Amino acid sequence: MAIRIGIYGYGNLGKGIESAIRHNPDTELVAVFTRRDPKTVQIQTEGVSVYSAADAPKMKDQIDVMILCGGSATDLPVQTPELAKYFNVVDSFDTHARIPEHFANVDQAAKENGNVGIISVGWDPGMFSLNRLYANAILPGGHDYTFWGKGVSQGHSDAIRRIEGVKDARQYTIPVESALEAVRSGSNPELSTREKHTRECFVVAEEGADLAAIEKEIVTMPNYFSDYDTTVHFISEEELQRDHAGIPHGGFVIRTGSTGWNDENKHVIEYRLKLDSNPEFTSSVLVAYARAAYRLNKEGQAGCKTVFDIAPAYLSAEDGAELRKHML
Q: For the segment 162-201, give every residue that binds a second copy (CB under 8 A).
A: 184
Binding of a second copy by 17 (CB under 8 A) = no
Binding of a second copy by 309 (CB under 8 A) = yes
Rounded Cα distance, 38 and 276, in Å: 30
Rounded Cα distance, 320 and 195, in Å: 45
Q: Which of 47, 100, 208, 222 binds a second copy (CB under 8 A)?
A: 100
Binding of a second copy by 81 (CB under 8 A) = no
**Contacts (CB under 8 A) with a second copy, residues 30-69:** 44
Interface map 215-254 toward a second copy (x if CB under 8 A): -------------------------------x--------
**Residues 6 or more apart in contact with residue 288 via CB below 8 angstroms:** 24, 315, 316
Binding of a second copy by 2 (CB under 8 A) = no
| CB nearer to a second copy: pick between 147 and 271 | 271
Report in angstroms how near the CB of residue 149 gets to a second copy at its nearest: 14
Rounded Cα distance, 285 and 122, in Å: 5
Supply the angle between the helices 12-23 and 278-298 in degrees, to the nearest 10: 60
Alpha carbon of residue 38 to chain centroid = 26
H/E stretch holding 203 reads strand 197-205
| CB nearer to a second copy: pick between 107 and 215 | 107
Rounded Cα distance, 253 and 234, in Å: 32
| CB nearer to a second copy: pick between 11 and 320 | 320
Stretch that binds a second copy, among 120-128, 147-155, 169-177, 201-209 (CB under 8 A): 120-128
Query: Is 135 exposed, middle or buried, given 0-12, 13-18 or 19+ CB atoms closer than 10 A?
Result: buried
**Contacts (CB under 8 A) with a second copy, residues 255-294:** 259-261, 264-277, 280-281, 283-285, 288, 291
